[in-house]
Amino acid sequence: MAELQTDAAAAPQIVNVPITKGKTTLAVAIDDIPADVWAEVILQGLKVLLNRGTSKVTKETYPKAEELTAKANEVAATQLEMVMTSKIKFTGGKKKSGATGAVMTEARRLAKALVKDELKRAGIKISHVEASEITKAANAYLETEQGAALVEQAKVNLAEREKISIGGVIDVAKTVHISQALVDKANARKAKDGTLSAKQAGKVKHKAKGEGASAAVH
C-alpha cells in the first residue's frame, strides 16, 4: 500500500464525519489514524464508492446471472474510473456549488437541451425516449466537470433574467387566463396529500353522485 505523505508543517487534515442518528458530525484528524485502520477505512470507502449504481442492476432487469454479473462489474469499473479522476459525487470535503433550486432547474433545462441535441446527432428520435431518461442523462451530465460549468451558466442566465421586467409592457394579471380546472386539480392533489388548508379544502369541487360512472360511458 502506498505510504501517505504528510507535511509536518501543514495544518492537520480534518474530515467531519456525519453521525446520522446523532444528528451531528465528528471531526476526525486523518493524519492521526493508525496505518492498519487507515487501510480498512480505504477499503470500506472504496467498497461504498465502487458499488454506487449497482443497486439498479437487478434480476428483473438482467434475469440471466452472467448478464447481471457482467453489468455489475461494468458499473463498478466505471465508478473506479470516476474515483481515479475525481469525478465522483462528493458528500464532504469539497465545497458545494451553492446552487439554489432555481439555479439547478435552469441548469437542468440547459442540460436537457444538450442531451436532446446529442440524441439527434446519434440518430435517435426524441419522441422515442421517455422524458425521465432525458432527465436522468441531464442529471448525470451535471455531475461532471463540464456540467459544473453549466451550473455557472445557469446562474448567469438567472441573474440576467432578474434584470428584465415585462410589467411595464403587459399586465400579466389581465393577459394570462387562470385555468379553474388546473386550480381544482392542484387543490384536489393537496387535499389528498393532506397539505391543503381548511379554507382551500372548501373550494375543492366534488363530483356529483353518479358523475364518475356517466363520464365513463362512451
Contact 191, 201 (CB under 8 A): yes
Does a structural domain hold residue 137?
yes
Domain that holds residue 185: 168-202
CA-closest candidate to residue 109, choices 87, 139, 130, 89:
139
Q: What is the pLDDT of residue 16?
A: 80
C-alpha cell at 18: 456525519
- Domain co-membership, 117 together with 141: yes
Per-residue pLDDT tens digits for 9-22: 455 677 788 888 88
DSSP assignment of 69-85 equals HHHHHHHHHHHHHHHHT
- Domain co-membership, 18 together with 72: yes
Does a structural domain hold residue 89?
no
The number of domains in the chain is: 3
Q: Between residues 113 and 96, which one has the greater pLDDT?
A: 113
- Domain co-membership, 112 together with 52: no
- Domain co-membership, 73 together with 131: no
- Domain co-membership, 176 together with 131: no
Does a structural domain hold residue 57?
yes
Q: Is the pLDDT of residue 51 over 90?
A: yes
- Domain co-membership, 71 together with 105: no
Does a structural domain hold residue 46?
yes
Indicate the burial class of 138 (C-beta count within 10 angstroms; 0-12, 13-18, 19 or more).
Answer: buried
Domain closes at, from 57, 84, 111: 84
